Amino acid sequence: MERALKGDFVAIGKLISVLEKEGEERRELLKEIAPLVGKAYYIGITGAPGVGKSTLVDKMVGFLRGEGYKVGVIAIDPSSPFSGGAFLGDRLRMQRHATDPGVFIRSMGSRGALGGLSKAAPYVAKLLDACGFDFIILETVGAGQSEVDIVKTADTVIIVLVPGMGDEVQIIKAGIMEIGDIFVVNKSDKEGAQKLTRELETWIELGYKGASWVPPVLMTIAENGTGVDKLINALKGHRKYLLESGELEKRRRKRIAEEISKAVEDMLKERIVKNLNKEQMNLYVDLVLNGKRDPYSIAEELVNNLY
């Protein structure tokens, strides 16, 4: 930990692996990290596959580095539901930063909703925060509840769309539009960008009447960096709004409350479910199957037995 705080990337890399595993060791590390966080600004970026999120992150990192900030990136790609393996390719677009001592990039597989790795992403963000990174960018594919949950832990959420393919409809359906603080129409070198931008603006106008923050819609061409300066300005604008309106504190309070309940959940699971051996579990299953007991009274009994 000491080495990590001094900016030793080898140590940071290893500690992240500790945070990826549920259990005692992780909890101890999180305890150490807790008092050291709070300085970094957390940005979530999400959108359909291939819309240019990683390319955009690469350009944002370049821009923020130009201003002297240290940047951490956590890039989450879906794990294969069949093998549990993953092809983590977000880094590919960011490799020019690989040897920059002010940039730390970590790829993670989502490992499914139950596996819990993607759930570790907020912990990794905290570690990077503690280690002195000023901005932490989380990239996830905007599909599935667990990804949305991760992005929601950010201070500012950027949703990326592209013209064509009717993506806007899909995303509206997926229910992730609501979490967007800033909308980006990327690949605006392509036909339909203006139209999509106008559609989004209309949608926002309708949905955000009287709201204290009305999400801006920005056009970018991530590939050549066009519009990235405006995006960074919008980010800073949102941050200012969060600070001045008290919304930042509100969000962070909510986050902390969620963390506490999540930690309780994890500990209970560890203590009860993991101590339950297969035979015992089978006995319970038999009882339920035979109609002698029900799963809920068994759960009650297990929890009560802890004390």
Partner 1 sequence: MVEERIRVLIAKPGLDGHDRGAKVVARGLRDAGIEVIYTGLRQTPEQIVQTAIQEDVDVIGLSILSGAHEYYCRRVLELLKEKGISDIVLIVGGVIPPEDVSMLKSIGVSEVFGPGTPISKVVEFIRQVVKK
Q: Which of residues 18-37 bind ligand GTP (CB under 6 A)?
A: none
Closest distance of CB 79 from Mg ion, Å: 15
Residue 116 binds what, of Mg ion, partner 1, ligand GTP, none (CB under 5 to 8 Å, by partner type)?
Answer: partner 1
Q: Which residue has the tokens 């140590």?
A: 11
- What are the strands of the beta sheet with 103-109, ordered from one edge? 103-109, 71-77, 135-141, 41-47, 156-161, 182-185, 217-219
User: What's the half-sphere exposure (Cβ side, CA atoms, 13 Å) at 287?
Assistant: 14
**Interatomic CA distance for residues 271 and 87, integer angstroms:** 33
Contact between 90 and Mg ion per CB under 5 A: yes
Q: Among residues 124, 130, 137, which one has the least CA distance to residue 97?
A: 137
Q: Considering only 83-91, 147-155, 193-201, 226-234, which stretch makes contact with Mg ion by CB under 5 A?
A: 83-91
Instruction: State how far the alpha carbon of 76 is from the alpha carbons of 41, 102, 115, 305, in Å.
Output: 18, 20, 14, 38
- Of the candidates 208, 182, 213, 221, the one whose C-alpha atom is nearest the C-alpha of residue 56 is 221
- The stretch among 5-13, 88-96, 209-217, 273-281 that binds Mg ion (CB under 5 A) is 88-96
Does 139 sit near partner 1 (CB under 8 A)?
no
Nearest residue (CB) to ligand GTP, 93 versus 106: 93
Q: What string marks each residue from 38 to 67 as x (binds Mg ion by CB under 5 A) or -?
A: ---------------xx-------------
Q: Which residues contact 21 (CB under 8 A, 6 or more apart)?
A: none
Please answer whether residues 70 and 39 qualify as being in contact, where contact means their C-beta atoms are separated by less than 8 angstroms: no
306 binds partner 1, rule: CB under 8 A: no
State which residue, 97 or 187, has the beta carbon closest to ligand GTP. 187
> How many of the chain's residues bind partner 1 (CB under 8 A)?
35
Per-residue interface string for the shown chain with partner 1, residues 56-95, x marking contact by CB under 8 A: -----------------------xx-xxxxxxxx-xx--x
Nearer to partner 1, 116 or 225 (CB): 116
Q: Which of 55, 146, 156, 197 binds ligand GTP (CB under 6 A)?
A: 55
Tokens representing residue 241 in the block? 């709004």
- The answer to whether the CB of 105 falls within 8 A of the CB of 97 is yes
- Distance of alpha carbon 59 from alpha carbon 98, whole angstroms: 14
Handedness of CA 204, 164, 229, 89 (dihedral sign): positive
Q: Is 147 in the site for Mg ion (CB under 5 A)?
A: no
Query: Is residue 221 within the footprint of ligand GTP (CB under 6 A)?
Result: yes
* Spatial separation of the C-alpha atoms in residues 49 and 19, rounded to whole Å: 26
**Considering the rule CB under 6 A, would residue 90 count as an interface residue with ligand GTP?**
yes
Q: How far is the CB of 23 from partner 1 (least distance, A)?
A: 9
Q: Which residues bind Mg ion (CB under 5 A)?
A: 53-54, 90
Q: Which residues bind ligand GTP (CB under 6 A)?
A: 49-55, 90, 93, 141, 186-187, 189-190, 221-223
